[in-house]
Amino acid sequence: MTFRAAVITFPGSNCDRDMATALEAVSGQPALRVWHGDADLPDRLDLIALPGGFSYGDYLRSGAMAATSPIMHAVIAAAQRGVPVLGVCNGFQVLTEARMLPGALLRNAGQRFICRTVDLTVANTTSPFTAGFAPGEAIRVPVAHHDGNYYADAETLDRIESEGQVAFRYATGCNGSARDIAGVLSANGRVLGMMPHPERAIEPAAVNAMGGADGRRLFANILAAFASA
């Protein structure tokens, strides 16, 4: 069967083309493009991706308005059926606002936009997104955000850590995120939200331009999980 991925575009998305390009580069199949105002998703999807950007201009709160878009009802239903969902940067914010992931993304500590390549530590290796990494492995992926400071109360943080829902941590801190959390998984491991941009680190040229091509491995993990399903 052919791998089928859909990329959702919201008003203000600016990484949707990057996400679609990355998925096609790794899978060999063009990603399906879905507008936020659509009520339904294409049939038989193997991945849904919510890209980075500034959906609805970040009005109200980052991701809050996008979380109420018509397509999100279909995204939530698909996730409940077990379809993997990846939210990157603004997509992570949308996932938390839609209550598909615990916690919230606050303004960065220092109130500054951060745009650079960061070192991450892999904290989970059992999900479809992370199974190809080694426990504790160091990878490098770019970030570009103003509201990436992950927050949850202490009880929630203890729970997601004990249940293996932390996917990635910042190796040397980044934006004030609680316990240096850079990516979070759903309880079943099939929804991942992360602030770093793996779609910007997929080509060999990225080794010099963006600090590495480790993002490609995340997409390769998804393809491997699809192939083994």
Domains and CATH numbers, the chain: 5-228 (3.40.50.880)
Express each pLDDT in 122-147 by its tens digit.
Answer: 999 999 999 999 999 999 999 999 99
Residue 214 pLDDT greater than 70, yes or no: yes
Catalytic residue (choose from 15, 36, 89, 145): 89
**Residue 91 identity:** G
* pLDDT score recorded for residue 53: 95
Query: What mean pLDDT value characterizes the chain?
Result: 94
Give backbone dihedrals phi and psi of 116, rounded to 5 degrees, phi first.
Answer: -170, 170
What are 183's two structure tokens?
Answer: 């990516």
* pLDDT score recorded for residue 229: 73
**Nearest residue to 148 via CA among 58, 213, 79:** 58
* pLDDT score recorded for residue 209: 55
Express each pLDDT in 70-86 by its tens digit.
Answer: 999 999 999 999 999 99
CB 193 within 8 A of CB 92: yes
Catalytic residue (choose from 15, 36, 174, 199): 199
C-alpha 144/C-alpha 117 separation (Å) is 9
Express each pLDDT in 59-69 by its tens digit.
Answer: 888 999 999 99
- Asked if 115 is an active-site residue, the reply is no
Express each pLDDT in 170-206 by its tens digit.
Answer: 999 999 999 999 999 999 999 999 999 999 999 876 5
* C-alpha dihedral (43, 183, 60, 83), degrees to nearest 10: 10
**Nearest residue to 191 via CA among 41, 70, 79, 71:** 79
Neighbours of 134 (CB within 10 A): 10
